[in-house]
Structure 1
Amino acid sequence: MITLRTLGMMAAALMVSACGILPAKQDITLYDLPTNVTPDASWSHTDAQITVRRPSGLGLIDSSRILVRPTPNELQVYAGAAWVDSAPEVIQSAVVQLLEDSDATRTTLRRGGGVKGEFELLMDIRHFEADYSGASTPTVVVEISAKLVNNAARGVVENRVFRATAPAAGTDVAQVVAAFDRALSKASFDIAGWTLQNAR
């Protein structure tokens, strides 16, 4: 006859057994992309308010995972590593910071702050990954489609695809992150300058 005490002992044994087969929780290292880029003093100045909307991105791009493409048709993530924010927010922050530091707009806003600028920068992330492409070390690829919208006229002023690449010094995650920083710095610099040139 099975008593309550026996059932309790069996349940405890099952819990211990289950704990033994569950995978250990993996520690995740968070990486930031400070993109310490100096604005170009020759950039155009505008009296307009510019709103930078959170970029869009499909699938894993819209996440905090650090993406790697080992083969042309394969997309994976680096284990135990992630961005401090989602990739769209990391990119948005880089562009907003450059526009603010340039002091070339009346105001630079993030979409969602309750105020809408005369111009709105829309971005779609096509690539934000470390790509091996048959090489022994990866090259980081950042490709962003940008549209500048005049909110008053309700039309697109300009659109352009920006692409920046940076080879990693090695295969370690820290080396790959350094390449991400260089590629994003270049892309955000080009996007900020282009935005100011056309926001008039």
Structure 2
Amino acid sequence: MKTSLTRITVLLTALSTAACTVLPRPEPPRVMDLAAASSQPKHENLLPVSLRINTPLASDPVDSSAILLKPTAYEFQAYQKARWRDSAPVLVRDHLARHLRNSGGFRNVVIDTSATNTEHALLTELSAFQVEQSGNTYQVILELHAEVISEQSGSSLCVRNWSIQEMAASSVLESAVEAFSRASNTLASELTQWAWSCVQRAQ
């Protein structure tokens, strides 16, 4: 009886030791961001108004932190072991806000988390933010619908659509992020001038 108990104890100890084997931890994902433009023109005329930048509306899978690759017209994939620092809409909102602030064209530029009262708001919809593959070529597709409205009356002042394509050197992550940054800087530069001109006409 004592021998049997000893054997059972040894067996349970062995099983317990096996169950406690330390598994390797998965590597944390790389966290990527958009690079700002190396230079940016400044507006000579400061408009005495403030502008609120709302977070773009988007649906899945664009409304996520996944760095998207679309190898066919029917499928989305995500770069493995990497993600954006936040969801794509927040990423684009922050990029636009930084560019609009640096332009010096508005008295103040805030995002939609601010409680500050503003005269105008920029409303947008982000419908594409991915790398698309065509054979052996890759390009970033960025599509944005934008509208400037009066915060006081709620009336629409200006509306415009953007569809920007930027070639990537390859499908590797670094090339993709560089192309995303170039496309986003093109959008930010054009949208900043457009929004400034729109608000100026409304004064």
Separation in 1, partners of 2:27, 2:58: 26
Q: Distance in 1 between matches of 2:83 and 2:181?
A: 14
Once the 2 structures are TM-superposed, how far is the Cα of residue 4 of structure 1 from its aligned partner?
6.2
What runs of 5+ residues in structure 2 fail to find an aligned partner? none
Q: Which residue of 2 aligns with 1:187?
A: 187
Report the CA distance between 1:162 and its aligned residue.
1.0
Whether the aligned pair in 1 keeps the contact of 2:63 and 2:89 (CA below 8 Å) is: yes
Please list every run of 5 or more consecutive structure 1 residues that lacks an aligned counterpart in the other structure.
none
Give the alignment's Cα RMSD to 1 decimal.
2.2
**1:148 pairs with 2:148:** yes
State the shift of 1:44 in Å: 6.6
Aligned to 1:25: 26
> What is the DSSP-based 3-state SS (H/G/I as helix, E as strand, rest coil) of the residue aligned with 2:143?
strand
CA contact (8 A) 2:42 2:105 kept: no
Measured in 2, the distance between the counterparts of 1:111 and 1:77 equals 28
CA distance in 2, matches of 1:154, 1:171: 43
1:96 CA displacement: 0.8
In structure 1, the partner of 2:63 is 62
Is the contact made by 2:31 and 2:83 (CA closer than 8 Å) also made in structure 1? yes
The answer to whether the 8 A contact 2:42-2:104 is kept is: no
> TM-score, normalised to structure 2's length?
0.86
The 2-side partners of 1:165 and 1:125 are apart by 14
Aligned partners of 2:147 and 2:156 also within 8 Å: yes
1:167 and 2:167 aligned: yes
Match among 11, 17, 34 for residue 16 of structure 2: 11
Counterpart of 1:98?
99
Bigger radius of gyration among the two: 2
Alignment coverage as a number of residue pairs: 195
Task: Tell me, yes or no, if the aligned pair for 1:148 and 1:157 is still in contact at 8 Å.
Answer: yes
Counterparts in 2 of 1:147 and 1:4: CA distance versus 1, 3 Å:
farther
| Distance apart, 1:127 and its partner CA | 0.4
Alpha-carbon distance in 2 for matches of 1:136, 1:78: 17
Q: Distance in 2 between matches of 1:57 and 1:93?
A: 15
Is 1:35 the counterpart of 2:40? The answer is no
Between 1 and 2, higher relative CO (CA 8 Å, sep ≥ 6) is seen in: 1
d(CA) in 2 for partners of 1:34, 1:194 = 22
Q: Which moved more, 1:32-41 or 1:48-57?
A: 32-41
**Aligned partner of residue 138 in structure 1, secondary structure:** strand
Deviation of 1:37 after TM superposition, in Å, equals 5.5
- Is the contact between residue 125 and residue 145 of structure 1 (CA under 8 Å) also seen in structure 2? yes
The 1:52/1:71 distance shift into structure 2, 3 A limit, reads same
